[in-house]
Amino acid sequence: MSALFDLPNHPSLPGQPSPPRNPASAALLDDLNREQRAAVTHAGGPLLVVAGAGSGKTRVLTRRIAYLLGERGVAPGQIMAITFTNKAAAEMKDRVAELVGARARAMWVSTFHSMCVRVLRREAKTVGLGSNFSIYDADDTRRLVTIVARDLDLDPKRYPARTLAMHMSNLKNELSTPVEATERAGNDLERRVAEVYTAYQRRLEQANALDFDDLIMRTVEMLQTYPDVAEYYRRRFRHVLVDEYQDTNHAQYTLVRELVGGAATAEAAPEANAGPGPAELCVVGDADQSIYAFRGATIRNIVEFERDYPQAKTILLEQNYRSTQTILSAANAVISRNADRRDKRLWTESGEGEPIVGYVADNEHDEAAFVAGEIDALCDSGQYGYSDFAVFYRTNNQSRVFEEIFIRLGLPYRVIGGMRFYERREVRDALAYLRVLANPEDTVSLRRILNVPKRGIGDRAEACVATYAERERITFAEALRAGARGEVDLLNSRSVKCLAAFVELLDSLHELVERGDEIAEILEAVLDRTGYRAELEAKAHDDPQDASRLDNLTELVTVAREFTEDAATLQTLEEDEGAPEPGSLEAFLERVSLVADADSLPDADDGEDADEAEQAEGTGMVTLMTVHTAKGLEYPVVFGTGWEDGVFPHMRALSEPAELAEERRLAYVAITRARQRLYLSRALMRSAWGQPMANPASRFLDEIPDAVVQWRREEPSPRGAGSSGPSVASTWGRRTGGDSAQAGLAARGMRSTPFKGWQETPAMALQPGDRVNHDKYGLGTVVTTEGTGARATATIDFGSSGTLRLMLIGSVPMVKL
Ligand SMILES: Nc1ncnc2c1ncn2[C@@H]1O[C@H](COP(=O)(O)OP(=O)(O)OP(=O)(O)O)[C@@H](O)[C@H]1O
Ligand SMILES: [Mg+2]
């Protein structure tokens, strides 16, 4: 226990139950503190457990379930437990199964959304849905709103889809129907939103689809409209337990009430003939971890619990069992800046622990390399296995950089939430084209794209070609060309024409490869000339998913562009025998397949063998996820990345006090996931939407006391005035070491990355004739320069090392002489 947040005399509750004599239940209660035990054994009225991060709230829920099953004779089928993420649900189920065995399977442990899907699929007929209804995610929703708004002739500048979707979602979270929304609309925006909402619901219904918010709202409506259905669920679930109660919104709150039957009690339902009586309710939460206000979550539900449920009992937990004091100090320092919160007195017995490690990276690639390097080193030291590590980022799109470096270094990892980029259909289609261009004989890819997009080469034509290839003992590609010349029997003339057009298309694309066009250009040509993009664009008006496919293709073009840019700065000197030429289409495809190959790492589909192997080795995989997804979880070592103003806190929050408070709670969540070691990093430059941006340090970093952070690498101080290139000194906040940066960094034992100092300016200013010294290629003379800003490049003659074209932005290990 240590200095900052000690509270040795934590209060105990009166009338504590002592552990029962039954040895089995003693085991269930043994390793709990008094307050936890009180919560586990509490019977009867509604129970609220409020406590800070890592104080054992979830453990209380899990134990309580085991206790209900083991000691109170409750059947598994009578238990409904609600968690915030699917991962948390799976973990809770596992933990209960460890305690009570396989019968845990009959419990319902799920998220609100999955629970509602389950109920609605069962009751589809009652609510007039086809049981195969589809579910639109947030992205689909926004795109459908765009379509609806366009149909209604709304000016997208004045009424952006995102805003409309948000307001609509708020209405649903408040359980307002389109009719109610229309009646209550008091101003122009509200009227527009109501119109969109009405039209949107009609479209959803036609598509037999529900969005996320509907899942909850429809379930609530059903329970309120059909008392016998509600009765069925109330009889069935005698125990309702909710984790992360601080993140429930009004709709979810109402759903819980309907399930428990508390509302009926409040409205003084006649005693006689009443249903089964309210179920036992147990909710746990922490107002400081409320991070879903954007989905209408309100801590009102915690604060007012005792008013909502007059018989309620509240239990506070104050001992933290998860983190070191250092980590708690950082967490407390950040969260205590929020106004209007109840101060908490978390304490721990686990000691100071390791200092928090801070790292200032040159850019996001450097940051990812640092993270990967640390994981590697800590694993090598034998202290940790891969599964002990988690890497957090603020938004999903930040995962790709980590995925790529992990792949390259062979670090096993998994991404929670968000589909792997290279698994997506459109990405695979586009890559199949490139594969065929790189290798015309790639039959699998060729057959994949043969009729994608549709071009009149049906299954029958394909079969004829395949048969001909087999008979003539030639490749499929050769047979295809024969078909295009009309030499394959049984092909009708229309098919021959289509094949000929396809072959011609491939040939024309192949010319671009021969000509040495950049990969991004080739890819663009593929998407345009095949009509792939046009087809998606046409369909995007009706199907929101097609619109997101277009975005993914744009992202793939960016990947290709970055690859070429990287290659320009890359080691031509380090060529492996037989490796494809750097920057070539082949090299690109090789790199991509390595990344995509991650799919076949354990856990994807290798099934049990891989699991066993993993367990045998005891190393597992590094987990990558957003902070939102990480809520409720814990890891021995946590990397908080992208701690930059504009990234985390999110850009949106910078000018919005309420949103900033929410981002701060998110930072509190991030920090308190760590058990032993915490790393916090940021990058000086980060590409966002294709543009490199210089981001200042996250204000949350500044809020953490210096005493608990050890900076492994600080921000380099800009060299004296007059150095080449415009300075970005204005964005370089505190922590700027006053020392000569290079020597200072070396002295602090900086790892592999060479010092980049002032080269971190937006682009190095060079002119033909300038002399430079490159870390790797040595002395050189600038021959020509091209482009500006992010596109700035220079062709430099390095004498015996060759003449190279280099990017002048990002981590260029080179100085001008
Ligand atoms: N009485 C206890 N003795 C030992 N370990 C405990 C005890 N209570 C909780 N723990 C451990 O402390 C860690 C944090 O517990 P838990 O995840 O239940 O906390 P939480 O309050 O739900 O945290 P969060 O707010 O992040 O959801 C877990 O590893 C848990 O097993
Ligand atoms: Mg928890």
Within this chain, do residues 42 and 153 fall inside the same structural domain, yes or no? no
Q: Residue 168 maps to which CATH number?
A: 1.10.10.160
Within this chain, do residues 663 and 735 fall inside the same structural domain, yes or no? yes
Model confidence at 750, pLDDT cuts 50, 70, 90, reads very low
> Is 242 contained in some domain?
yes
Does the annotation mark 673 as catalytic? yes
Q: Residue 279 maps to which CATH number?
A: 3.40.50.300
Binding-site residues for ATP sit at 51-58
Q: Which residue has the higher pLDDT, 579 or 764?
A: 764
Cβ-contact 97, 175 below 8 angstroms = no
Query: What pLDDT is stored for residue 249 in this prediction?
Result: 94
The residue from 35, 140, 214, 243 that is catalytic is 243
The number of C-alpha atoms within 13 Å of 66 and in the hemisphere containing its C-beta is 24
Alpha carbon distance 622, 384 (integer Å): 11
DSSP category for residue 597: G
pLDDT tens for residues 157-184?
999 998 999 999 999 999 999 999 999 9
Query: What pLDDT is stored for residue 710 in this prediction?
Result: 96
Number of domains in the chain: 4
Residue having the nearest C-alpha atom to atom 2 of ligand 1: 32
> Is 329 contained in some domain?
no
Task: Report the pLDDT averaged over residues 45-49.
Answer: 96
Alpha carbon distance 674, 508 (integer Å): 55
Work out the mean pLDDT of the chain and round it to a whole number. 81
Query: What pLDDT is stored for residue 140 in this prediction?
Result: 65
Q: Best-predicted range by mean pLDDT among 98-107, 303-312, 436-445, 760-769? A: 303-312
> Is 550 contained in some domain?
no
Q: Which residue has the higher pLDDT, 460 or 615?
A: 460
> Is 604 contained in some domain?
no
Within this chain, do residues 632 and 721 fall inside the same structural domain, yes or no? yes
The residue from 57, 87, 257, 344 that is catalytic is 57
- Name, in order, each residue with C-beta under 8 angstroms of 618's C-beta and a sequence gap of 6 or more: 385
Ligand closest to 669 (CA) is 1
Answer with the one of 207, 230, 257 that is the final residue of a domain.
207
Query: What pLDDT is stored for residue 354 in this prediction?
Result: 96
pLDDT tens for residues 441-475?
777 788 889 999 999 999 899 989 988 988 998 88
Place of tokens 């060479």: 754
Task: Report the pLDDT averaged over residues 290-317.
Answer: 89
> Is 468 contained in some domain?
no
Say yes or no to pLDDT of 552 above 60.
yes
Say yes or no to pLDDT of 2 above 60.
no
Binding-site residues sit at 51-58
pLDDT tens for residues 759-814?
333 567 888 888 888 776 778 888 877 766 655 667 788 777 666 666 676 556 77
> Is 200 contained in some domain?
yes
- Closest of 295, 316, 294 to residue 305, by C-alpha: 316
Q: Is 107 in the pocket of ligand 1 (CB under 6 A)?
A: no
The Å distance, Cα 632 to ligand 2 centre, comes to: 4
Q: Is 464 in the pocket of ligand 1 (CB under 6 A)?
A: no
Say yes or no to pLDDT of 531 above 80.
yes
Beta partners for 814?
A: 774
Ligand closest to 37 (CA) is 1
Query: What pLDDT is stored for residue 562 in this prediction?
Result: 84
Spell out the SS3 assignment of 322-334: CCCHHHHHHHHHH
What is the token pair recorded at 570?
């890359």
DSSP category for residue 418: S
Q: Which of these ranges, 121-135, 508-522, 702-716, has the smallest mean pLDDT?
A: 121-135
Task: Report the pLDDT averaged over residues 53-68.
Answer: 95
- Closest of 671, 727, 780 to residue 332, by C-alpha: 671
Model confidence at 321, pLDDT cuts 50, 70, 90, reads very high
**Do β-strands 622-626 and 413-415 pair in parallel, antiparallel, or remain unpaired?**
parallel
- Name, in order, each residue with C-beta under 8 angstroms of 177's C-beta and a sequence gap of 6 or more: none
Within this chain, do residues 91 and 152 fall inside the same structural domain, yes or no? no
Query: What pLDDT is stored for residue 275 in this prediction?
Result: 63
Answer with the one of 188, 207, 226 that is the final residue of a domain.
207
Does the annotation mark 58 as catalytic? yes
Task: Report the pLDDT averaged over residues 660-683.
Answer: 97
Within this chain, do residues 741 and 626 fall inside the same structural domain, yes or no? yes
Residue having the nearest C-alpha atom to atom 27 of ligand 1: 632
What is the token pair recorded at 747?
């002295």
**Do β-strands 778-786 and 793-797 pair in parallel, antiparallel, or remain unpaired?**
antiparallel
Q: Is 113 in the pocket of ligand 1 (CB under 6 A)?
A: no
The Å distance, Cα 636 to ligand 2 centre, comes to: 16
Within this chain, do residues 727 and 645 fall inside the same structural domain, yes or no? yes
How far from 363 is each of 278, 699, 729, CA to CA, in Å? 56, 18, 16
Within this chain, do residues 635 and 681 fall inside the same structural domain, yes or no? yes
> Is 712 contained in some domain?
yes
Place of tokens 């096993």: 412
Within this chain, do residues 107 and 139 fall inside the same structural domain, yes or no? no
Q: Which of these ranges, 349-358, 663-672, 734-743, has the smallest mean pLDDT?
A: 734-743
Within this chain, do residues 634 and 751 fall inside the same structural domain, yes or no? yes
Q: Which of these ranges, 292-296, 375-379, 715-719, has the smallest mean pLDDT?
A: 715-719
Query: What pLDDT is stored for residue 465 in this prediction?
Result: 93
pLDDT tens for residues 332-366?
999 999 988 888 778 899 999 999 999 999 999 99
ipTM of the prediction greater than 0.90, yes or no? yes
Model confidence at 627, pLDDT cuts 50, 70, 90, reads very high
What is the token pair recorded at 505?
């298309």
Does the annotation mark 244 as catalytic? yes
The residue from 95, 172, 665, 673 that is catalytic is 673
Range of the domain at 166: 134-207
pTM metric for this prediction = 0.66
Query: What pLDDT is stored for residue 245 in this prediction?
Result: 96
> Is 635 contained in some domain?
yes
Query: What pLDDT is stored for residue 25 in this prediction?
Result: 63
What type of residue is 62?
T
Model confidence at 78, pLDDT cuts 50, 70, 90, reads very high
Query: What pLDDT is stored for residue 718 in this prediction?
Result: 54
For helices 364-380 and 399-409, angle between their N-to-C axes, nearest 10 degrees: 50
The residue from 58, 111, 246, 545 that is catalytic is 58
Within this chain, do residues 224 and 249 fall inside the same structural domain, yes or no? yes
Q: Where are the alpha helices (DSSP H) in 394-489?
A: 399-409, 425-438, 443-449, 459-472, 476-484
Query: Assign residue 48 a region: left if phi > 0, alpha if psi is -120 to 50, beta otherwise?
Result: beta
What is the token pair recorded at 303?
């604060």
Within this chain, do residues 196 and 254 fall inside the same structural domain, yes or no? no
Say yes or no to pLDDT of 571 above 60.
no
Spell out the SS3 assignment of 645-695: CECCCEHHHCCCHHHHHHHHHHHHHHHCCEEEEEEEEEEEEEEECCEEEEC
Say yes or no to pLDDT of 745 above 50.
no
Cβ-contact 585, 438 below 8 angstroms = yes
Query: What pLDDT is stored for residue 151 in this prediction?
Result: 82
Q: Is 32 in the pocket of ligand 1 (CB under 6 A)?
A: yes
Neighbours of 144 (CB within 10 A): 25
Query: What pLDDT is stored for residue 422 in this prediction?
Result: 72
Query: What pLDDT is stored for residue 102 in this prediction?
Result: 83
Cβ-contact 111, 631 below 8 angstroms = no
Answer with the one of 280, 301, 321 that is the final residue of a domain.
321
Q: Is 770 helix (H, G, I), strand (E, B) or coil?
A: coil
- Closest of 318, 337, 287 to residue 7, by C-alpha: 318
Within this chain, do residues 150 and 187 fall inside the same structural domain, yes or no? yes
Q: Is 63 in the pocket of ligand 1 (CB under 6 A)?
A: no
Edge-first strand order for the sheet with 108-111 is: 108-111, 79-83, 239-242, 280-285, 47-51, 313-317
Ligand closest to 636 (CA) is 1
